[in-house]
Structure 1
Amino acid sequence: MNYNDDLNHFSDENPSSDGHLFLKPRVNRFAITFVIVAMLSVLSLGIAYLYGGYTNKFEEATKDNEHTAVALSEHIDSTVFQVENLSGDILERLAYDGDSPPALARLNKQFRKIAQDLPAIAGIFVFDSSGNVLVSDKVSPLSFNNSDRAYFRYHKAHPDDQGVHIGSAVESRTTGDLVIPISRRIEDSNGNFSGVFLATLKVDYLNNFYAQFLDSESSVVVLTLNDGEVLARAPYLATSVGKTLAQGQIFREYLPHRTSGTVMVTSVLEGIDKLFSYKVTNRYKLFIGIGITKTGLLAAWYGEALLASSAIALLLIILLLLGKVLVNYISLSSTYEEELEKAFAIAHTLSTEDALTGLKNRRYLNTSLPTEIGRAKRNNSPLGFIMMDIDYFKSYNDSYGHLLGDECLRAVSSAIYATIRRPGDCAVRYGGEELAVLLPDTDEAGTRKLATDLCFAVSQLGILIKAARWDG
């Protein structure tokens, strides 16, 4: 067999040999292309993941801060509204009782009780037309003159302003602490200026209250007048109170167009870029701002980004192995977020519901009642409110024990809940055996009818007690 015969023989015995030689480069090219595409895909996904985490940090911070700004604006409006209601009552009493020593003694007693019940109040005063103290909440009589205070001069010069006036933070002459004056003009029967009613809020109280809402050391909460003058700030910065934010971007560029929002601006007081959520309060036009530095906002993301970048680099080296790790990581992240959302939902429910009865609790009422009152005033609509107390409950507890007492409370609460039909109505366990029902858009007749229905529903439970007696 010659050489050609040997070659033909080889080809006959290996019919695919030429095909293998041709297929091998194609497989190599496909493998290289696959690896390149896979690496680019991983790199693209990694970049998308990092960018998504980056934007999510801003979105989450915006959402949380805007909700907090609304809550804090309602809180300060509610606090000032309490003072406004108090001032109206005091002006009526002064007009009716005068400023005789017995009348002032009664006011002193009332002022001391109010200051004790309201921790935000630093002091309550009534000044005569010359600025001398007529009466205060202090045990010992005071003898100083406040005619030089800005709020006193304001009321003396503005007879047309009959409402409350919120002034700049000042140092109290009785305690030396920083306070926010909330004042109101007093007039005699002829409409002439006869003095000033003053209640002061503790700046420290507001600072400490706002500090509860700080997520980190890079967060800040600030309260200002509508002209930008700082009243309170958390964390407390001694040089901040009395400073103005009027030249900041929010007051110059954003507030003229929107009374609430979230923007990235440079802090006037610190010169640092911060994500600020702000809200102008509905009633008294105060400014609430909640900010966090960009560095603080992204601190957690920087750590996540470093880990993710390392993972991406490792994925590019060991594609198949770390592909599985990435899937597991995403799966764990998703599970963690779901569990966290469930935990937040449970925590929210526990914070607003009474564990024994399933009704809303007093904390919920303290939040919703001022809101409903404000809504009713704005809409000029009625607002019904029913307070209930279970008669003989102490005797029932003493006779049958606390377990049956709890069952009694649950039964009565269930009856009340079943009787309330409108979605907007709210049943509340106020405390102990005290229950309440909040009825938006309900006039007196409707409220009375529902109260009658509630009494009937409870009576149908047939809960009896032996030797029932009135416990006072």
Structure 2
Amino acid sequence: MPILQNDPHIATGVALKRLPLRKAAVLFIAVVCLCLCGLLYLQLEQSRRHDLAVAEVASSNLTRAMAQQAEDTFMKADLVLTSLVDWIQADGYGPPQRPRLQKTFAQRVQALSQLHGILLFDQKGQWIVTSFADLPRGRGVADREYFMYHQQNVSSVAHIGPAIRSRENGEWIIPVSKRINDKNGHFQGVLLAGIKMSYFDQFFKSFSLDDNGSMFLGLTDGTLLARRPFVEAQIGSSLANGEIFQTLLPNAPSGNATFRSVVDGTVRLYGYRQLDAYPLVVSAASSRDSILKGWYDTAFRSSVIVALVVLGIGLFGWVFVRQVRLGEQVEADLRKAKEALKLIATHDSLTGLANRRLFEQALDIEFGRGIRQSSSLSLIMLDIDYFKRYNDAYGHVAGDHCLAQVARAVKSCCHRKADLAVRYGGEEFAVLLPDTDIHGAMVIAEHIRRAVMAKNISHSGSPNGFVTVSLGCYSFVPTRLDSTEVFIGRADAALYQAKHSGRNRSAVLSIDGGVEELMRSDR
């Protein structure tokens, strides 16, 4: 019924308004925290990329300087060898020429600080002339890589071989050698200029690198010639399986890349460059941890600050949401209390049926609706037969129990939501039936009478031996000239006639041409 639904709708509306507030608060707090974390991530990522980009530029400049220095170093040695080879091939290196060659070799070594020495070997690998004062003695250099290379290759181009230890004084050198031919082009020996490993070591140390940084000079086949930091066991080892030689150099002669070193396992940013004039590769690398050291510090501080802010927002949000939940709980309790009060105000506490107050409200509503829609409205008034005798015989507690059982029987016969069962007062009940004519009302009245009889409630003061009820029915189509009081009075008159006619029966009061006629049913 409309009047019964107003308050629940209002309460539901309040709940629906409150629910989005809590969700919106949680969503807002989550969005704010995510935005802070997102901004921190974007700022840190941009800063990290900037630091790496600066490091890449520095690495490229460093490898360019290294490549230029290495190319100049080897080119000077190459020019010295070229001039001396032309002289030796023209004049030979017989005993008359050797003193002059030795003096010239010594002068060239003194003029170029990177040179360890200049040595001339015959076709068997024996020392003929050197830049040193004393001619070394021993088994020669026929087993050296550079000597065997020139034996097998007629090219006059300078050859740069793997780093070796000098057999003259044990110093590490990088051999730059050229083939010497006779006038017929036959192999006559090798002229070698040894470049000091220490020269590159000093050159590498002139650059500022972190403790985990590295620099190296190698052949294009991956053979390591010189490295910073200097580790003697690594000289001559192969880097051919490294990222630079396997992946980068085949695609570009110079560039930058970050990867893990195959030598010591450290992750570094490498800049590399292949020389144009010689089969050499230089590389300079800074460890990623060193490049990003400042970034790590900034990231830690920024993360701590943002974490504290997020924690503060989270605590505030928790308190806020908790308060919202408490408010919801209070409102829910108030709604329950209101519903309980409403139930107390509109329903009978003993039987659970609607009370007289709710009956009057519902009757006013249905009366007005019947006028507007010209629909029938019926009312059944019923009373427990000989109820005073029942109380006298069994007591008021049993009487209350009897009332409750009769109420359940009445309510069980009201199947529609619009039907309203009422405890009208004392042992008297009423049933309001909207949209129901007199025949329908009579059917329901009989159902109620039989349902009470079916309870088989013992009643020694009744002629039947069990509790029965008498019912009066009245039905009409209300008009604006009618009143609820007259409507109730006619139903009550029908009940009076049913009780007067012997009880345990349903009576109908009808109006036909202004004359009231009593209809009885005693089935």
**Do both proteins adopt the same fold according to a TM-score greater than 0.5, normalized to the shorter chain?**
yes
Alpha-carbon separation, structure 2, partners of 1:264 and 1:141: 48
The percent of aligned pairs where both chains have the same amino acid is: 30
**Could you report, residue by residue, the CA deviation over 1:432-464 in whole angstroms, capped at 9, with x for unpaired residues?**
xxxxxxxxxxxxxxxxxxxxxxxxxxxxxxxxx
Work out whether 1:141 is the aligned partner of 2:114. Answer: no
Could you say if the C-alpha distance between residues 268 and 34 of structure 1 is closer, same or farther in structure 2, counting changes exceeding 3 Å?
Answer: closer
The answer to whether the 8 A contact 1:72-1:288 is kept is: yes
The answer to whether the 8 A contact 1:210-1:221 is kept is: yes
Work out whether 1:204 is the aligned partner of 2:177. Answer: no
Give 1:36 shift.
7.9
Give 1:244 shift.
0.4
Q: Please, which of 138, 158, 166 is the counterpart of residue 153 of structure 2? A: 158
Paired residues for 1:152-191 under 5 Å: 152-159=147-154, 161-191=155-185
Q: Please, which of 52, 59, 77 is the counterpart of residue 58 of structure 1? A: 52
Question: For 1:195, what is the secondary structure of its paired residue?
Answer: strand
Work out whether 1:123 is the aligned partner of 2:117. Answer: yes
**Could you report, residue by residue, the CA deviation over 1:350-389 in whole angstroms, capped at 9, with x for unpaired residues?**
xxxxxxxxxxxxxxxxxxxxxxxxxxxxxxxxxxxxxxxx
Question: For 2:167, what is the secondary structure of its paired residue?
Answer: coil
Q: How many residues align?
A: 293
Work out whether 1:283 is the aligned partner of 2:281. Answer: no
Counterpart for residue 216 of structure 1: 210
Question: For 2:97, what is the secondary structure of its paired residue?
Answer: helix
Alpha-carbon separation, structure 2, partners of 1:235 and 1:68: 16
Counterpart for residue 239 of structure 1: 233
Paired residues for 1:11-410 under 5 Å: 42-144=36-138, 145-159=140-154, 161-313=155-307
Alpha-carbon separation, structure 1, partners of 2:247 and 2:135: 49
Counterpart for residue 21 of structure 1: none
The answer to whether the 8 A contact 1:229-1:245 is kept is: yes
Alpha-carbon separation, structure 2, partners of 1:128 and 1:248: 38
The answer to whether the 8 A contact 1:223-1:286 is kept is: yes
Give 1:294 shift.
2.4
The answer to whether the 8 A contact 1:208-1:234 is kept is: no
Alpha-carbon separation, structure 2, partners of 1:90 and 1:307: 64
Counterpart for residue 414 of structure 1: none
The answer to whether the 8 A contact 1:214-1:220 is kept is: no
Q: Which runs of 5+ in 2 are unaligned?
A: 1-22, 314-523
Alpha-carbon separation, structure 1, partners of 2:223 and 2:92: 36
Alpha-carbon separation, structure 2, partners of 1:170 and 1:99: 25
Alpha-carbon separation, structure 2, partners of 1:219 and 1:54: 19
The answer to whether the 8 A contact 2:145-2:161 is kept is: yes
Alpha-carbon separation, structure 2, partners of 1:49 and 1:281: 39
Alpha-carbon separation, structure 1, partners of 2:145 and 2:27: 78
Q: Which has the larger radius of gyration?
A: 2
The answer to whether the 8 A contact 2:271-2:285 is kept is: yes
**Could you report, residue by residue, the CA deviation over 1:246-280 in whole angstroms, capped at 9, with x for unpaired residues?**
11222122222211111222211112322221111
**Could you report, residue by residue, the CA deviation over 1:13-68 in whole angstroms, capped at 9, with x for unpaired residues?**
xxxxxxxxxxxxxxxx9999999877665544322221112112211111111111
Alpha-carbon separation, structure 2, partners of 1:39 and 1:155: 71
**Could you report, residue by residue, the CA deviation over 1:379-437 in whole angstroms, capped at 9, with x for unpaired residues?**
xxxxxxxxxxxxxxxxxxxxxxxxxxxxxxxxxxxxxxxxxxxxxxxxxxxxxxxxxxx
Question: For 1:146, what is the secondary structure of its paired residue?
Answer: coil
Alpha-carbon separation, structure 2, partners of 1:171 and 1:140: 18
Q: Which amino acid aligns with 1:184?
A: K
Alpha-carbon separation, structure 2, partners of 1:226 and 1:30: 64
Alpha-carbon separation, structure 2, partners of 1:46 and 1:100: 78
Alpha-carbon separation, structure 1, partners of 2:60 and 2:164: 29
Alpha-carbon separation, structure 1, partners of 2:193 and 2:311: 70
Question: For 2:107, what is the secondary structure of its paired residue?
Answer: helix
The answer to whether the 8 A contact 2:80-2:108 is kept is: no
Alpha-carbon separation, structure 2, partners of 1:98 and 1:227: 35
